[in-house]
Amino acid sequence: MSTLRCSICERYFDPATSDAMPFCSKRCKQVDLGRWLGERYSVPAERSEEDEDEGPSRHSSDGED
């Protein structure tokens, strides 16, 4: 008996019983598709840190008033 590992739910399943290869179920297939589209249409939230590494922002009142 050969098993495959579903990349969505990470469970091992029997490919012979799956109707949504290479996933264990149609549900996982949908999840994968959703992720795929999600990544494509939404901006990854990895840029939320922006420039917080500039330390305390000093007051910009240096006499240029």
Q: Give the residues lining the site for Zn ion (CB under 5 A).
A: 6, 8-9, 24, 28
The nearest distance, CB 1 to Zn ion, in angstroms, is: 18
What is the DSSP code (8-state) at residue 12?
Answer: E
Q: Please check whether residue 40 is in contact with residue 23, taking contact to mean a CB–CB distance below 8 angstroms.
A: no
Q: Which is nearer to Zn ion, 6 or 47 (CB)?
A: 6
CA angle 22, 26, 27 (to 5 degrees): 115
- Least spacing, CB of residue 14 vs Zn ion, in Å: 12
CB of 26 to Zn ion, least distance (A): 10
